[in-house]
Amino acid sequence: MFVPGTEMTSEEFREFGHAVVDWIADYRAGVADLPVRGEIRPGRLWEQLPDRLPEEGESPAALLADLDRVIVPALAHWQHPAFFGYFPANSSLASVLGDLLSSGLGVQGISWTTAPASTELEQYLLDRLAEELGLPAEFTFPGGGGGVIQDSASSAVLVTLLAALHRDSLGAWRSSGLTGGEVVYGSTETHSSLAKAVRVAGLGHDGLRLVPVDPVTLAMRPDELAEAVAEDVAAGRRPVLVCATVGTTGTGAIDPLTEIAAICREHGIWLHVDGAWAGVAALCPELRALFPGVAEADSFCTNAHKWLMTAFDCSLYWTRHPGVLVDALSILPEYLRNAAGESRAVVEYRDWQIPLGRRFRALKLWAVLRWFGLRGLREHLRRHVALAAELADLVRSDDRFTLVTEPSFALVCLRAHTGNGAAADDRRTERLLASVNKTGQAFLSHTAVDGRPVIRVAIGGVTTESRHVLELWRLLREEFDRA
């Protein structure tokens, strides 16, 4: 018995809430038995839905039935242990519960004053995580910096660019906008979010330099960066931002931060380090050692919603110049003025981001940190790095495959090797990718290196174990022969 059409009673919420929790428990328990991604025809879902929205309310039981009937069959299952595509988007069950608490509280953090706990828990967690990641004290609030949760690394690099433009213009950017000579630097392997940020900020593609990479490591070449900067300076343009990457999306390349930082220092350029996927590995000292120089960055970003078990969206961003960032983004209309905000005793996170509204996202991160503990998180990261090394050894041992780059963290990049030349290898690689995915027993995605197709195996699912990687290896070899 229930009364739809008006707000659920507590009793109804208990009943339906337990049913939804049980549905998720069943989904997660059974997801490994589903095809990671079945054949899905565009438009099929739409055809299965009614022509009109319901006039009268319905029981949530009908919603759950439709999830089974039309939604689940039309998804790639990112929480499947054999999902190796793109990068992991771990939505651990602890984070699911933390996020549920956030919706349940339903508070809105447009100001410190409208949800103090939301702002302060976020500050607290970002400070604590900065320490555990080995970031410099200048990235924490007591050290004059600070961290914030952004929705994504794309937004993080955008706000960074805006802060850098503001700083570079000595404030003129706020009033008169761009002057036309601003230049931003990444490498040819930098994530497309940099190009998007440059476009959004109004520089146009002409304001972006994609510096060449080392042909073996695929990391940015500092000599090429220095040359590009020198050229731009000589031509009267203004270098504003360099975005270096720890763990590129294509192959997991690590840009040489120390050398890049020296160039940035020399020219007063803001250095942003994008560690969207791999940055969280800094929780483990031996992995942190793989990317020295982060301490010299002006800002750093890594996504808890990729490899750190936290449901999307939860991108962790720190800067040593929060004053510049806030100055770049703040606008204070009357209806948001309040005593606490004006006292400057509190942080107003709305001025650290593009949107005004803010969900209480710190709760899902807190739930993850407390359920797993730091030890659990380190073990999770190390386990996947070890599995990648294991897979890389298998690839090396089989002459039907080539390792395109050395494995980076938990990413393995490979292609087929036919012995019949590059063109044949490329065709076989493409067919192999398609046929593995078609089995539904694993899901892989690709990139290109030197214009040639490469299969990426991104290990890192929260339930991915050795047997899933070994099963993938069996599948790769089996499908190689068929492809």
Taking CB under 8 A as the criterion, the residue among 126, 147, 148, 152 binding its own copies is 152
Task: Check binding of 144 to its own copies (CB under 8 A).
Answer: no
| Span near its own copies by CB under 8 A; candidates 225-233, 323-331, 394-402, 404-412 | 323-331
CB 367, min distance to its own copies, A: 6
CB atoms within 10 A of CB 355: 11
Task: Check binding of 403 to its own copies (CB under 8 A).
Answer: no
In one-letter notation, the amino acid at residue 103 is S
- Pick the closer one to its own copies by CB: 444 or 472: 444
Going by C-beta distance under 8 Å and a sequence separation of 6 or more, which residues neighbour residue 101? 363, 367
CB 423, min distance to its own copies, A: 18
CA pair distance 299, 431, nearest whole angstrom: 41
Give yes or no for a contact between 85 and 440, defined as CB atoms under 8 angstroms apart.
no
CB 230, min distance to its own copies, A: 22
- Cα–Cα distances in angstroms (integers) from residue 423 to residues 100, 216, 251, 358, 451, in the given order: 50, 20, 21, 50, 11
CB 136, min distance to its own copies, A: 18
- Pick the closer one to its own copies by CB: 72 or 386: 72
- Pick the closer one to its own copies by CB: 115 or 273: 115
Give yes or no for a contact between 115 and 319, defined as CB atoms under 8 angstroms apart.
no
Q: Which of residues 411-450 bind its own copies (CB under 8 A)?
A: 445-448
CB 204, min distance to its own copies, A: 3
- Pick the closer one to its own copies by CB: 292 or 355: 355
CB 252, min distance to its own copies, A: 12
| Span near its own copies by CB under 8 A; candidates 265-273, 293-301, 360-368, 471-479 | 360-368
Q: Which of residues 4-43 bind its own copies (CB under 8 A)?
A: 4-8, 10-14, 16-18, 20-29, 37, 40, 42-43
- Pick the closer one to its own copies by CB: 105 or 226: 105
CA pair distance 147, 149, nearest whole angstrom: 7
- Pick the closer one to its own copies by CB: 47 or 399: 47
- DSSP code string of 307-361: TSS--S--EEEEES-HHHHHHHH----GGG--HHHHHTSS--GGGGSSSS----T
CA pair distance 358, 428, nearest whole angstrom: 47
Q: Which of residues 183-222 bind its own copies (CB under 8 A)?
A: 191-193, 195-196, 199-207
**Closest alpha carbon to 413 in 383, 452, 375:** 452
Q: Which of residues 50-79 bind its own copies (CB under 8 A)?
A: 52-58, 60, 62-63, 67, 70-72, 74-79
Give yes or no for a contact between 477 and 400, defined as CB atoms under 8 angstroms apart.
yes
CA pair distance 352, 108, nearest whole angstrom: 15
Give yes or no for a contact between 315 and 276, defined as CB atoms under 8 angstroms apart.
yes
| Span near its own copies by CB under 8 A; candidates 44-52, 289-297, 318-326, 396-404 | 44-52
In one-letter notation, the amino acid at residue 252 is G
Q: Which of residues 71-130 bind its own copies (CB under 8 A)?
A: 71-72, 74-79, 85-86, 89-101, 103-108, 110, 112-118, 120-121, 123-125, 128-129
Give yes or no for a contact between 480 and 400, defined as CB atoms under 8 angstroms apart.
yes
| Span near its own copies by CB under 8 A; candidates 167-175, 217-225, 253-261, 398-406 | 167-175
CB 261, min distance to its own copies, A: 26
Q: Which of residues 289-318 bind its own copies (CB under 8 A)?
A: 305, 311-313
Give yes or no for a contact between 211 and 185, defined as CB atoms under 8 angstroms apart.
yes
Taking CB under 8 A as the criterion, the residue among 126, 163, 165, 388 binding its own copies is 165
Q: Which of residues 335-354 bind its own copies (CB under 8 A)?
A: 335-336, 340, 343, 345-346, 354
| Span near its own copies by CB under 8 A; candidates 231-239, 332-340, 388-396, 397-405 | 332-340
Quick one: DSSP state of residue 210? E
Q: Which of residues 372-391 bind its own copies (CB under 8 A)?
A: 372-376, 379-380
Quick one: DSSP state of residue 416? E
Task: Give phi and psi for 310, each to the nearest 5.
Answer: -110, 130
Give yes or no for a contact between 137 and 318, defined as CB atoms under 8 angstroms apart.
no
Angle between helices 362-396 and 93-105 (to 10 degrees): 160
- DSSP code string of 393-415: HHHHT-TTEEESS--BTTEEEEE
- Pick the closer one to its own copies by CB: 245 or 263: 245
Task: Give phi and psi for 11, each to the nearest 5.
Answer: -65, -45
- Pick the closer one to its own copies by CB: 217 or 400: 217
Task: Check binding of 367 to its own copies (CB under 8 A).
Answer: yes
